[in-house]
Amino acid sequence: MFKMVDSSDRESVTLTFVTVAFFIVTSKFLLAGYDLTWLGLGVTTPISITEYATAFAAILAVWLGREWVKRPGA
């Protein structure tokens, strides 16, 4: 199975979360405003580039914060 590893070659649950969140936010941005009733989702709400950038920055902040903090003995 594919494992996400951080910069110190340890398995990273945080990086997995960041990757999944990135794909969800990007998919929502790309599909925003389309009629997806055939998927059971209805009409999606449009997202501006500012809203997307804010969500993307928040996701990256989690990952960068994790990489920035070094625990003693890690």
Q: What is the pTM of this model?
A: 0.67
- The whole-number average pLDDT for the span 4-31 is 80
DSSP 8-state assignment for residue 46: P
Task: Name the residue ranges covered by the structural domains of the chain.
Answer: 13-68
Phi-psi region of 71 (alpha: psi -120 to 50; beta: other; left: phi over 0): beta
Cα 29 to the center of its chain, rounded Å: 12
Cβ atoms of residues 43 and 24 within 8 Å: no
Cβ atoms of residues 17 and 59 within 8 Å: no
Helix (H) or strand (E) holding 35: strand 35-36
Model confidence at 63: pLDDT above 50: yes
pLDDT per position as a tens digit, 1-17:
466 776 667 777 778 88
